[in-house]
Chain A
Amino acid sequence: MKNQEQALLEVKGLKTYFYMDDNKVAKAVDDVAFTINKGETLAIVGESGSGKSITSLSIMRLIQSPPGKIVEGSISLEGKDLLKLSEREMMKVRGNDIGMIFQEPMTSLNPVFTIGNQISESLMKHKKMKKKEAYNKAIDLLKLVGFARAEEIVNEYPHQLSGGMRQRAMIAIAMSCDPKLLIADEPTTALDVTIQAQILDLMVQMKEKFESSILLITHDLGVVAEVSDRVLVMYGGQVVEEATVHELFTNPKHPYTNGLLASIPNIDADVERLESIPGSVLPAHRFPKGCRFAPRCKHVMDKCRESNPDLLETETNHKVRCYLYED
């Protein structure tokens, strides 16, 4: 807890654009800024097209270029600007300082190597371990993420494991080098609810054990409420609201956040009709001039169509990008 206020990762003015064939520019991430403190779990929520995954890929510098490009901004991990590193130096950061787990564990594991091979690979590369030592460490890690038969699993291939087990193995790989930050991009979206609960538990345990921070990317507000400390809500490539998890769910401000919360059927309450947000997310090259949510917003005013509001701190630790809250 004593590290709580110490910043681990600081993202400032991040812009990631995609240049399309017909000279259109898709501003997938447009001026995003946030901080992740040590030991903190920060969640980014948003729907498809909100730019949440592109934000996480930008941090890892995994944006395919062309067509994508990080145009502006800085991403500093403990004071070191990741955007200024060479590709070689960046490789030392990936898997070592920052671990990553993805939505689909089958496509992110290599089908032709054993689980043990894939865990030892990063240990041998980053921690300069000998083969035997790395193999033994792999077994320990598998035990840590809850495999009862770790000695057998270490020699098995990804296809022999179920979805939940593969995600456990991915977590073992991500945690192998004791990363400072774990980026989890929709880690439980492909899993059944009972397995999802197991994996979320495991992520929280790992965070505490390794004293790392988590950046959780998800579309599921239930998952956010379950595990995160602070939340960013993204819409149209920008952060529209930022608050502590408790504040966001008890006192949501942005009309988009409100609409999102109201459109989820609640398992504990009965309503005849769900609230819904009309229309759908526009593609990134067709964002409107003013506020990007204006075409779907029920509180839209003239100035919302003219210019884009700034992300302002309206209450302590609560930022919102909306003219309704500007004096």
Chain B
Amino acid sequence: MGEREKLLEVKNLKKYFPVKGGVLQRTIGHVKAVDDVSFEIYKGETLGIVGESGSGKSTLGRTILRLLDPTEGQVIFEGDDISTLSNRKMRPYRKDMQMVFQDPFASLNPRMSVGEIIEEPMIVQNTLTKKERKEKVVDLLAKVGLPAEARSKYPHEFSGGQRQRIGIARALTLNPKLIIGDEPVSALDVSVQSQVLNLMGDLQDEFDLTYLFIAHDLSVVKHISDRVGVMYLGKMAEIGPKDKIFENPLHPYTQALLSAVPIPDMERKREKITLKGELPSPSNPPSGCPFHTRCPEAHERCKVELPELLHQGNEQYVACHLYTSEEK
């Protein structure tokens, strides 16, 4: 375990969005979308991030890529802190980190041919000649399982699954080291979803990619990830190796989340923990542990004191007072 090389390190990352109000549009509060999150991603692994809507998982992905500027904290990519770099200084790092978005209908420019879409990042980075670029486009299309003729067609001529393949080809153009997928298969039908998941797995092996895979579907995250982080209201509730999280979840939220997934199987029925209530607003999060309002195990301490993310052995970290020892 010790020899694993860190590709990306996120330290105490915060992203707050101001809430404006009143006649003068003054800032009257903040939505704490990402609130003090720390973790690392090792080379060649897939880290899955799960959470419900409003948990901050998408904002986390965008803040790491500097599509949003962090409010506080550091993002360290291969040892360099990129969290405060200017756009100009950020540019060389951009080619190492790419994103695949959820909606393949909205993330491809409808007025550009597929060839132009895939070629564009190479023009921006200006490293290849025109001829080399054209060759690379055909090569990438083949890699994602599309015919070379696809390059002269437009996005509307493709189905959802094919468009997501185009999105992946575009993300691969600059030989990135890290790909952040923000719900990359959520918009696809199940039979097509599995094609894209298999493709992402193949490409990871071939190009030695590292993935940060953000999704709300726990079965998909389990399938593709090596490690999994569970977010709740802008905070990391639990993070650890996939097997630990799914077989021995420690945080009451992870336990409830896993039990709520409907399984397409008649033989295995599990005991359901139905959570009461809904996710509180991130602009007015509860005191203490953010989950205490819905937690079946909540006690007095949870209402006042925020639990820290602590190591519970086997690389599994959990932020819950049930596991903070009394001696401390």
| Chain A residues close to B by CB (< 8 Å) | 47-48, 162-165, 192-198, 200-201, 219-226, 245-246, 249-250, 259-261, 263-268, 271, 273-278, 280-281
6 closest cross-chain pairs (CB), A and B: A222-B262, A265-B223, A263-B194, A221-B264, A192-B52, A47-B189
Compute how far the CA of A195 lies from the CA of B54 in the bound complex, rounded to whole angstroms.
Answer: 13
Cβ contact within 8 Å between A222 and B266: no
Q: Which interface residue of B194, B198, B268 has the most chain A CB atoms within 10 A?
A: B194
Q: Assuming A47-B191, A193-B52, is B267 touching A250 (CB within 8 A)?
A: yes
Cβ contact within 8 Å between B264 and A164: no
Taking the complex as formed, is B260 at the interface, i.e. its CB lies under 8 A from any CB of chain A? yes
Cβ contact within 8 Å between A194 and B52: yes
Q: Of the candidates A164, A192, A263, which one forms a contact with B216 in the assembled complex, judged by CB atoms under 8 Å apart?
A: A192
Cβ contact within 8 Å between B159 and A280: yes
Cβ contact within 8 Å between B216 and A226: no
Cβ contact within 8 Å between A222 and B261: yes
- Shortest CB-to-CB span from A309 to chain B, Å, is 20
- Shortest CB-to-CB span from B295 to chain A, Å, is 12
Q: Determine, out of B2-10, B12-20, B273-281, B301-309, the stretch whose residues face the partner at the interface.
A: B273-281
Residue of A nearest to B262 (CB): A222
Compute how far the CA of A192 lies from the CA of B223 in the bound complex, rounded to whole angstroms.
Answer: 19
Cβ contact within 8 Å between B194 and A276: yes
- Shortest CB-to-CB span from B167 to chain A, Å, is 16
Q: Assuming A193-B261, A194-B257, is B220 touching A265 (CB within 8 A)?
A: yes
Residue of B nearest to A226 (CB): B262
- Shortest CB-to-CB span from B198 to chain A, Å, is 6
Compute how far the CA of A265 lies from the CA of B215 in the bound complex, rounded to whole angstroms.
Answer: 13
Q: Which residues of A contact B220 (CB under 8 A)?
A: 265
Q: Which residues of A contact B260 (CB under 8 A)?
A: 193-194, 196-197
- Shortest CB-to-CB span from A268 to chain B, Å, is 6
Q: Of the candidates B218, B262, B279, which one forms a contact with A223 in the assembled complex, judged by CB atoms under 8 Å apart?
A: B262
Compute how far the CA of A25 lies from the CA of B150 in the bound complex, rounded to whole angstroms.
Answer: 27
Cβ contact within 8 Å between B264 and A192: no
Give the number of chain B interface residues (Cβ < 8 Å).
41
Compute how far the CA of A267 lies from the CA of B52 in the bound complex, rounded to whole angstroms.
Answer: 17
Scan residues 152-210 of chain B and give those whose CB is less than 8 A from a CB of chain A. 159-162, 189-195, 197-198, 201
Cβ contact within 8 Å between A201 and B267: no
Q: Assuming A164-B278, A275-B194, is B264 touching A261 (CB within 8 A)?
A: yes
Cβ contact within 8 Å between B274 and A264: no
Pairs across A and B, CB under 8 Å, 23 listed = A47-B190, A47-B191, A162-B278, A165-B278, A192-B53, A192-B216, A193-B218, A193-B260, A197-B274, A219-B189, A222-B261, A225-B262, A225-B265, A260-B190, A263-B193, A264-B194, A264-B219, A264-B264, A265-B222, A266-B263, A268-B263, A274-B197, A274-B223
Cβ contact within 8 Å between B275 and A194: yes
Main secondary structure of the interface of A (DSSP, over half): helix
Taking the complex as formed, is B246 at the interface, i.e. its CB lies under 8 A from any CB of chain A? yes
Cβ contact within 8 Å between A280 and B263: no
In the complex, how many residue pairs between chain A and chain B have their CB atoms under 8 Å apart? 121
- Shortest CB-to-CB span from A278 to chain B, Å, is 7
Cβ contact within 8 Å between A198 and B265: no
Cβ contact within 8 Å between B194 and A200: no
With contacts A192-B216, A193-B260, A225-B262 known, what are 5 further pairs, Cβ within 8 A? A225-B266, A263-B194, A266-B265, A267-B246, A277-B191
Compute how far the CA of A224 lies from the CA of B263 in the bound complex, rounded to whole angstroms.
Answer: 9
Compute how far the CA of A277 lies from the CA of B263 in the bound complex, rounded to whole angstroms.
Answer: 20
Q: Which residues of A contact B262 (CB under 8 A)?
A: 196-197, 200, 220, 222-223, 225-226
Compute how far the CA of A270 lies from the CA of B208 in the bound complex, rounded to whole angstroms.
Answer: 22
Cβ contact within 8 Å between A278 and B263: no
Cβ contact within 8 Å between A195 and B192: no
Q: Assuming A164-B278, A192-B216, A249-B266, is B272 touching A197 (CB within 8 A)?
A: yes
Residue of B nearest to A225 (CB): B264
Residue of B nearest to A222 (CB): B262
Q: Which residues of B contact A219 (CB under 8 A)?
A: 189-190
Compute how far the CA of A226 lies from the CA of B275 in the bound complex, rounded to whole angstroms.
Answer: 17
Q: Which interface residue of A200, A225, A267 has the most chain B CB atoms within 10 A?
A: A267
Q: Which residues of B contact A48 (CB under 8 A)?
A: 189
Q: Which residues of A contact B192 (CB under 8 A)?
A: 276-277, 280
Q: Which residues of A contact B159 (CB under 8 A)?
A: 280
Q: Which interface residue of A249, A268, A281 has the most chain B CB atoms within 10 A?
A: A268
Cβ contact within 8 Å between B258 and A267: yes
Compute how far the CA of A280 lies from the CA of B257 in the bound complex, rounded to whole angstroms.
Answer: 31
Q: Which residues of A contact B198 (CB under 8 A)?
A: 273-274, 276
Taking the complex as formed, is B82 at the interface, i.e. its CB lies under 8 A from any CB of chain A? no
- Shortest CB-to-CB span from B215 to chain A, Å, is 11
Q: Which residues of A contact B222 (CB under 8 A)?
A: 265, 267
Taking the complex as formed, is B256 at the interface, i.e. its CB lies under 8 A from any CB of chain A? yes
Q: Assuming A193-B257, A276-B195, is B53 touching A267 (CB within 8 A)?
A: no
Cβ contact within 8 Å between B53 and A266: no
Compute how far the CA of A83 lies from the CA of B263 in the bound complex, rounded to whole angstroms.
Answer: 37
Q: Which residues of A contact B189 (CB under 8 A)?
A: 47-48, 219, 280-281
- Shortest CB-to-CB span from B248 to chain A, Å, is 14
Cβ contact within 8 Å between B265 and A274: no
Q: Which residues of A contact B264 (CB under 8 A)?
A: 221-222, 224-225, 249, 261, 264, 266
Q: Which residues of B contact A274 (CB under 8 A)?
A: 194, 197-198, 223
